[in-house]
């Protein structure tokens, strides 16, 4: 495959209920070669509550749902990153991101490996832990290290994708504030989220795209104050430098030119990877090392 | 050992030639329980050139050099983090950080594991790669995950220290700008350096102290324009939030109250560690995974 070194990357920051097809068309019209959607974009964020009725939202892959996005990718000739609720033939459920190439081909999927579970985010109730490992997906714009939301807090995930040749890391995500938190606490959480993803860019010398939803969604059980999804989607370059970002308040398309050749240039000046002490990293596959 | 949950942490940002003993006394006078010095604080940053004459700067551990710092720690009743050029009995050389407790006891040392090598930073010429692994050092103010400079670019090092029970990560460092770089490039480098260390705090929910040198030091070979050490030492909390920082232009003591109980509180709300996919991390001890 002939991979372009530069391309236009767009992410679509959405709130639940937005017309996704229309936004994809607009992004393509603005010149996007890659279009990224937020996590679980087809639904309200149903994981706020534990209710078996929500399993009916899941679909097989492939299905009419993937056919729909395949057609949009082909129609607009974009590499399209989607995030779907997958149901398998043996009735397992996954939080699965799926990529379609410019000709509509479903080129690969990633099943979210790190699954959160806690108030407002009962994902372990719905999703099995991903079973496909950390494998980048080859597309016509490069090898995409596709990860999802909670994965963003784990440097291991970013590293494993990079070690497997990812040219860029892409995170569909759905994260927000608890409305009752103080504004200081909200700022710390948002900053931590920006910092850690930008740090994955730094550590691995690859660009990062993080596409979040925005807007308030209630907890239908009324047992919490709901989630105020914090937007602030961004694209950064391989030094973690912000190329483009948004705020928490709007449905919008933001885009940046990505030059994949910068990764190699930066790695020559900041050669982290060759200095990794792989002889001393075995315990990274341990929970705790306090026995030593 | 009875470990305090809160203590006053101070770092001393120095330029080469500053009176270190005087600064330690001043930090103690201001109430510091922990005092951190920059990397290789006893010398000009000699690694800018490859010259065997510099091996004469190294000392055994223990020696009169460690006796000196032991006495300062004891005199001022502080936990003191130093960074020394170590020579072993079998004539190996290490970039070694050493901690003295409040009674002057040398409680542990860490030999820098990740060694850089490139223009202005020819550390592989001088230092063997550390052979002691990533083991936190128990002190009277907590378990210190002591790492040095180049280590700061490796999430693996921070993680391994945390998995072994580190309460706080401490980085003596000596990093600066190439004077010929553009101001934009300088800003990207400084931002990357701040971001990745703050991200170690975020990923592991522990505070981080990074103590850098500042000031210009010439390349005595005149083959480069030298190093403009960028200062910007900082202390951040376990959400990566900056508690105190400085700029690039001054020798100064900065300090912050550290409350180690915040780590447990944050881990309850943001429980990353239990969700690590240790079943899928084996390849972190590989250079590249492109065979798969």
With a CB cutoff of 8 Å and minimum separation 6, the contacts of A64 are: none
Q: Which residues pair with B110 in a beta bridge?
A: B97
If you average pLDDT over residues B108-130, what whole number do you get? 97
All domains of chain A in start order, with CATH: 9-269 (3.60.110.10)
Residue tagged active-site, from B47, B87, B109, B112: B112
Contacts of A114 in chain B (CB under 8 A): 275-277
B149 is catalytic: yes
Scanning A28-47 for CB atoms below 8 A from B yields none
Over the stretch B217-267, which tens digit does the pLDDT of each residue have? Answer: 999 999 999 999 999 999 999 999 999 999 989 999 999 999 999 999 999
Q: What local confidence, expressed as pLDDT, does residue A115 receive?
A: 98
Active-site positions of A?
39, 112, 149
- Say whether pTM exceeds 0.90: yes
In this prediction, residue A1 has a pLDDT band, given cuts at 50, 70 and 90, of: low
In this prediction, residue B1 has a pLDDT band, given cuts at 50, 70 and 90, of: low
Residue of chain A with shortest Cα separation from B129: A277
- Considering only residues B67 and A1, tell me which one the structure prediction assigns the higher pLDDT: B67
In this prediction, residue A289 has a pLDDT band, given cuts at 50, 70 and 90, of: confident
Q: What local confidence, expressed as pLDDT, does residue B289 receive?
A: 87
φ, ψ for residue B266 (rounded to 5)?
-70, -40
Residue tagged active-site, from B86, B87, B123, B149: B149
In this prediction, residue B35 has a pLDDT band, given cuts at 50, 70 and 90, of: very high
The ipTM estimated for the assembled molecules is 0.97
Contacts of A280 in chain B (CB under 8 A): 113, 133-134, 160
Three-state SS sequence of chain B: CCCCCEEEEEEEEECCCCCHHHHHHHHHHCCCCEEECCCCCCCCCHHHCCCHHHHHHCECCCCHHHHHHHHHHHHHCCEEEEEEEEECCCCCEEEEEEEECCCCCEEEEEECCCCCCECCECHHHHCCCCCCCCCCEEECCEEEEECCHHHHHCHHHHHHHHHCCCCEEEEEECCEECCCCCHHHHHHHHHHHHHHHHHHHHHHCCCEEEEEEEEEECCCCCCCCCEEEECCCEEECCCCCEEEECCCCCCEEEEEEEECHHHHHHHHHCCCHHHCCHHHCHHHHCCCCCCC
Residue of chain A with shortest Cα separation from B155: A155
Q: How far apart are CA A19 and CA A211, in angstroms?
A: 16
Q: Do A153 and B278 touch (CB under 8 A)?
A: no
For the beta carbon of residue A40, count every other beta carbon within 10 angstroms: 27
With a CB cutoff of 8 Å and minimum separation 6, the contacts of A177 are: A186, A189, A190, A227, A228, A230
B160–A contact, CB cutoff 8 A: yes
Q: Is the pLDDT of residue B291 over 90?
A: no
User: Considering chain A, what is the average pLDDT of its residues?
Assistant: 96
Q: How far apart are CA B224 and CA B66, in angstroms?
A: 33
A289–B contact, CB cutoff 8 A: yes
- Of the candidates A114, A155, A160, which has its C-beta nearest B275's C-beta? A114
Q: Do A275 and B114 touch (CB under 8 A)?
A: yes
Q: Is the pLDDT of residue A98 over 60?
A: yes
Q: What local confidence, expressed as pLDDT, does residue B216 receive?
A: 98
A247–B contact, CB cutoff 8 A: no
A114–B contact, CB cutoff 8 A: yes
Contacts of A149 in chain B (CB under 8 A): none
With a CB cutoff of 8 Å and minimum separation 6, the contacts of A98 are: A61, A66, A69, A81, A82, A83, A84, A106, A108, A109, A110
Query: How far does chain B reach from its first CA to its final CA, in angstroms?
Result: 48
A119–B contact, CB cutoff 8 A: no
- Of the candidates A196, A240, A241, which has its C-beta nearest B202's C-beta? A196
Q: Do B285 and A284 touch (CB under 8 A)?
A: yes
A189–B contact, CB cutoff 8 A: yes
With a CB cutoff of 8 Å and minimum separation 6, the contacts of A17 are: none
Give buried/exposed letters for B206-245 (b at 16+ CB in 10 A, else e): bbbbbbbbbbebeeeeeeeebbbbbbbbbbbbbbbbebbb
B211 is catalytic: no
If you average pLDDT over residues B21-38, what whole number do you get? 98
Residue to substitute from A283, A288, A290, interface B, most B β-carbons within 10 A = A283
Scanning B201-230 for CB atoms below 8 A from A yields 202-203
Scanning B126-155 for CB atoms below 8 A from A yields 129, 133-135, 150, 153-155
Q: How far apart are CA B189 and CA A24, in angstroms?
A: 35
Q: Is the pLDDT of residue B71 over 60?
A: yes
Over the stretch A246-270, which tens digit does the pLDDT of each residue have? Answer: 998 999 999 999 999 999 999 999 9
Over the stretch B256-271, which tens digit does the pLDDT of each residue have? Answer: 999 999 999 999 999 9
Over the stretch B120-160, which tens digit does the pLDDT of each residue have? Answer: 999 999 999 999 999 999 999 999 999 999 999 999 999 99
Q: Using DSSP bridges, classify how beta strands B142-146 and B168-173 pair: parallel, antiparallel or unpaired.
A: parallel
């Amino acid at each position: 495959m002939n991979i372009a070194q530069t391309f236009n990357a767009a992410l679509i920051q959405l709130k639940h209920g937005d017309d996704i097809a229309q936004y994809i068309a607009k992004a393509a019209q603005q010149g996007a070669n890659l279009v990224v959607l937020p996590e679980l974009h087809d639904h309200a964020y149903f994981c706020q509550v534990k209710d078996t009725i929500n399993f009916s939202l899941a679909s097989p892959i492939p299905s009419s749902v993937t056919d729909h996005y395949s057609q949009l990718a082909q129609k607009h000739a974009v590499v399209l990153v989607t995030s779907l609720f997958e149901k398998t033939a043996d009735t397992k459920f996954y939080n699965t991101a799926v990529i379609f190439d410019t000709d509509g081909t479903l080129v690969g999927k990633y099943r979210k490996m790190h699954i959160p579970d806690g108030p407002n985010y009962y994902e372990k109730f719905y999703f099995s832990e991903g079973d496909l490992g950390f494998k980048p997906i080859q597309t016509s714009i490069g090898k995409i290290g596709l990860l999802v939301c909670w994965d963003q807090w784990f440097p291991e995930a970013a590293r494993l994708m990079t070690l497997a040749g990812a040219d860029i890391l892409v995170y569909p995500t759905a994260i927000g504030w608890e409305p009752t938190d103080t504004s200081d606490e909200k700022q710390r959480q948002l900053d931590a989220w920006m910092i850690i993803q930008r740090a994955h860019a730094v550590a691995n010398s690859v660009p990062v795209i993080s596409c979040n939803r925005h807007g308030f969604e209630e907890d239908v059980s009324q047992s919490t104050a709901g989630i105020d999804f914090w937007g602030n989607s961004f694209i950064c370059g391989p030094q973690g430098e912000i190329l483009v970002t948004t705020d928490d308040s709007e449905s919008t398309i933001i885009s940046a030119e990505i030059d994949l050749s910068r990764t190699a240039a930066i790695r020559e000046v900041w050669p982290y990877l060759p200095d990794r002490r792989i002889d001393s990293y075995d315990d990274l596959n341990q929970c705790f090392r306090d026995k030593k």
